[in-house]
Structure 1
Amino acid sequence: MSWSTSSQPFSTPGSAMTEPSTINIAARPDRATTYGLWGTLRRRLQFWISIALLVILALIAAFPGLIAGLFGEKDPRSCDLSASNSEPVPGHPFGTDVQGCDVLANVLFGTRTSLFIGIAATAICLIIAVIVGTLAGYLGGWVDSLIARMADVFLGFPFLLGAIIVLNTAPSRTPLLMASVLAFFSWPTFARLIRGSVRGVREREYVQAAFAIGVSHLRLVLTHVLPNSLAPTLAIAATAVGGVIGAEATLTFLGVGLVEPSISWGLQLSTAQAHFQAAPHTVVFPSLFLTITVISLIMLGDALRDGLDPRGRL
């Protein structure tokens, strides 16, 4: 990663900066950007389809037992070995797995775990990236250089290999640990985006004017810089949630992710892989939910990206 650095966060008042009296400090683009983004998104069918699918998934994650009970079995751990790998029948619309557990109940409860890991990992990643990227972009100089070298170290280390090493040494692999590990190896990409946005926003006239009239650095960052720097990360964040869910499923499928008694799509796929020919439904339904979730998040990310692109508003 090559980050150009500057030693001062702002040019000195009275140099090339416009006089504060000629600048409308209140004319910030954040509100206009928000209205323009919403005006673009609401006209896109792709946005509404992704939102509808994600709302359904969110309801499933919030009330998995209630929804599973509508179709028969509401307890994913209620198993009958005599019904091992049974095909879909009334009462078990997705069939049963090798242990005789209801596949539908496990898929629905796995939605909660997978969404939690995806959202939690992205949130942790964003918190780290906002702090680190803002410091690098706002302060510049040696702080920017130091953070750039830290990011180089993480970017130079293979993502999956690093996650496998850490997870293999963990005494217990919980959903929160999975989210933390995935976020730990993902923050540099977000930090680079935020750092670049902050560097661009800090040079704008309304930020320079606010600094010239004595607004503190902390207030300047919180009220002017960050609100106008985070928009480009929205599209990446939505897509990242889907990427994290896929990464968790991959790691669990490889045997280094979640373990029982956790319930997730990756764990279901890992258990069912040896029985695919005899009971393909045990693989198809978790894979279907995983695919729909990831595609919905990618569609949302694409819609946000197009909405944030001025050319996408034409």
Structure 2
Amino acid sequence: MKQAYLTLFLSILVLSLLLAAGCTDREPASVPATPTPPGPTGTAAPPAVGYPETSQDIRDYVDHAAVWAIEHGRDEAIAAFGNATGPFVTGDVYVYALDYEGIALALPFQPAMVGTDFTPLLDASGKPYTAVEIQLVKSGGGYILYHYPYPADDQPSMQKLSYVRPVDDTYWIGAGIYTSEDRLIDPALRQFLADAKAYAVANGREKALAAFNNLSGPFIDGELYVFAYDYEGTVLSWPHRPDQIGVNRYNVTDPMGIFHIQSFITTAKRGGGVVDYYTTNPFTNATDLKVSWVTDVDGTWLIGAGRYIVPGPLVLRA
């Protein structure tokens, strides 16, 4: 019996010593966890997407650069964005930076133009693209279509679709994809408008306009619908804005100050083509960039249809 009590006593003693020594799976509360060493500073992270091709890609590219710039500060960001061999240049896609007065801060392929006021400059189509960009960034960001030199030896002017956004209250950034008319006006859109014109020619203006203005009719296909104007600028078809039918909009500008109705008329009279402008997207109620194809019908009126440029799978790369 004494031996049994002795064995029990020794077992309890050993267990107590083990617990006191901390021989359990749990680390003592008084010992802090080892912190993860901070990553290196002064090194730019690569863009989130490799080589942007879509409208979603280019927005992601710019958003990633903006987040990095906020984390690393303006001076380091401007230096990184201005480096033609740095991590914010991917092929012919690169981040550029300007302040809200339109002064260039970072242009990796045009370093001699850093410090230049870009607000008076017009692209090949006469668009004051930097002035438009500043309006976009002041409203949170958006897409712009314009012509800009390609980053090659001779730097020819090419069509480019960029996304711009603010970094902070002192400067903003953008990046774009060089694109082409065939990417912006896809075969489905061309066919949609060709069918609408054929219907108008075959059935006459009155019947055609009734069909175009019918939201349940054959000329509503997702975001595609037919708008129509006479050559005085009077609205003939706008299915999502029936209150505007019969209104003359010749001198109306889009939110960026562009006379887009006059551009419709000029473009249609010379045989048809692309017109880009900003308008209310009836599916989101946001003001978005829209790229439309317009064409003459019979010499007295025009029709058009287009797509809203929003983040998505639209492939822009030519």
Which one scores higher on RCO, CA 8 angstroms, separation ≥ 6?
A: 1
Q: Which of the five TM-score ranges fits, normalised by the shorter chain?
A: under 0.3
TM-score with structure 1 length normalisation? 0.22
Between Structure 1 and Structure 2, which shows a larger proportion of strand residues? 2
Between Structure 1 and Structure 2, which shows a larger proportion of helix residues? 1
TM-score with structure 2 length normalisation? 0.22
Q: Which has the larger radius of gyration?
A: 2
